[in-house]
Every structure is written in C-alpha cells, then in structure tokens.
Amino acid sequence: MLKITKATEPLNISTIVTCIYGPPGVGKTSLASTAEKSLLLDFDQGAHRSQFRKDTVQMSTWADINSITPEDLSSYRTIIIDTIGRALDLLSADIIAGNSSKMGRSGSLTLQGYGELKGRFTQWLKYLRSFGLDVVIVAHSAESTVNDTLTERIDAQGASKNEVYKSADLMGRLSFVNGKRVLSFDPSDTAFGKNPTGIATQQVPGLAEQPEYFASIIAGTKQGLMKMDAANSEARDQVESWKRIFGTISTPEEFNGFYASAAETKNKAVSALMSAAAKKHGLKFNKTTKLFEVA
C-alpha cells in the first residue's frame, strides 16, 4: 500500500543532496569532510591532500562501487562523492566495457552510451539516498566565456551534469575572494547555485576550530526546508477550509460577512477563490466601498 502524505501534512526531510564546486586547491574536500559521520568515496585519488580527511574508500574502477554493501555504510551519515567528474569517467568506462559495440566508439561514449550514463548515475544516486544518507557531491568548476562574460559551471560530462543540477537540494560555490575562502549558495548570472533557505554568503572558518561546520549547514538546511513545507501545509489547509466556506454561501451579505476574515489571511489563493465564487453567483467586488454587490 502506498504511503501517501496528504497535501496538508508536513514532509519529513531526513536526507538532502548537496553539491559543492570550485577551482582546484580551494579546499572542497576538506569542507565536505566536516559533514556528519562522512565516508569519502575518493574517485580523484586525492584524499591525501585534505587536512581534514575522514574515512575514505579509494575508487579505481566502477566495480569498487558495486562492491559497497548496506553494511559498509551502516555507521555513516554522509556519503561524499569526490569528484563527480571522475566518478562519471569511471562509470563511462564500465558502460563501454560492458557493450563496446553500442555504447562506445574510440574510447568515448556514443549517444546511446550517454543515455545509459545518465540513467545509471541517476539510479545510483537514488540507491545511496535509499540508505537514509546525506550525499555531498564535490565537483571541479569549469570556466567558459560567453559574450566576454566568464561563467562557472560544474565540470562533468554529458547530460549527467544536468542530473546533478536537478538532484541537488543545495548547491554552493567555494572560491577565493581577497585571499579568503568564501562559500556562496546564491545563483548568479555567471554561476549556478541553489539556496532554498537563504544561507548567507560567508567566509569559511578555520575547520580545525569548527570541525562540524558543513554538518551544521546541512542540518540547518533540512530544518529550514521542513519549516517551509510546514508553512506551505498550513497555507494549503487554510485554502481548503475557505474553499468549503465559499461553497456554502451565495448572497452579497454572506460574502461581505466573510470578507474581512478572508483578507486577514493575506493568502492570494484565498482571495482568488473568493473572487471566483462571487463571480459564479453574479456578484462583483466594489473597490470603493469594499463590499460585494450584484454585478
């Protein structure tokens, strides 16, 4: 039986996907490693360069991924994919090795191969989340110039990068500004970002002094998303209540009796429902008298 969460019920957000991208050497792995109980999947073979490395699995082939079991992940709360570009390279090699006649040509993926890459990456990401784990995707940034404007995007091949953009609940850019490491989740004209809870752009603190820095950002984001959903649930419940009321009234006097209370909600959907219900009964709202009257 389906477990249905009603529109008026809040969702429990237990896991999120975060993407952190930036240029080499800015400290992306160190930042990600301050997530809660993290396990680093080191596709780049560069974990030794991080000052704050936690438990690590070095990935040489995609077969290493397939060997991971739920028991292996049972003591962790966060999986770090470092980097997504290299992970997709290994997955591409595995796809070509499995069917070189259709999926690859001269060592590169065919159009069909890219479709397989997108599908398998999406399935794998869902698989990781099914264990109740937060996922942090680390990516290098790729720069390009369009109309003399320098833009930054994540460095990953094919349409799979679009799956990263779509799957991420939170996406931040780590960069150097005046010699300081700055983390920003805000999207801009020149860089991608996702910031649903309005996290302020901030200088990254000394991670030795704040070893749970990124864990607090992830936890705060989940709490913020749940508060937003709860507020939306309350608004939806309010709309349903007024919808029932508007279905039982028909005269100008009745609409005028409910007008003040409906206006106090400051809910545009409630206002639209009231206007539509009044119009159905041949009424219009007089903006001067602020009363409903016969049209």
pTM attached to this predicted model: 0.77
Distance CA 225, CA 218 (A): 11
Q: Which residues contact 226 (CB under 8 A, 6 or more apart)?
A: 10, 11, 12, 13
Domains (range + CATH), the chain: 17-225 (3.40.50), 247-294 (no CATH)
Which phi and psi (to 5°) does residue 289 adopt? -90, -15
Report residue 187 as tokens: 């999207």
Helix (H, G, I), strand (E, B) or coil at 82: strand
Spell 87-113 as b/e; 16+ CB within 10 A means b. bbebbbebbbeeeeeebbeeeebbeeb
**What is residue 18's predicted lDDT score, i.e. its pLDDT?**
96
Q: Are 18 and 170 in contact (CB under 8 A)?
A: yes
Q: Which residues of the chain have pLDDT under 70?
A: 1-11, 158-159
73 vs 6, 235, 236, CA distance in Å? 32, 38, 38
Helix (H, G, I), strand (E, B) or coil at 258: helix
Q: What is the pLDDT of residues 189-213, one digit of tens each?
A: 888 899 999 999 999 999 999 999 9
**What is residue 209's predicted lDDT score, i.e. its pLDDT?**
92
Distance CA 136, CA 94 (A): 23
Distance CA 185, CA 257 (A): 46
Q: What is the signed CA dihedral for 24, 27, 28, 34, rounded to 10 degrees?
A: 170
What is the maximum span of the chain, computed from C-alpha positions, in angstroms?
Answer: 78
Using the structure block, give the residue that is written with the tokens 């896991």: 15
DSSP state, residue 221: H
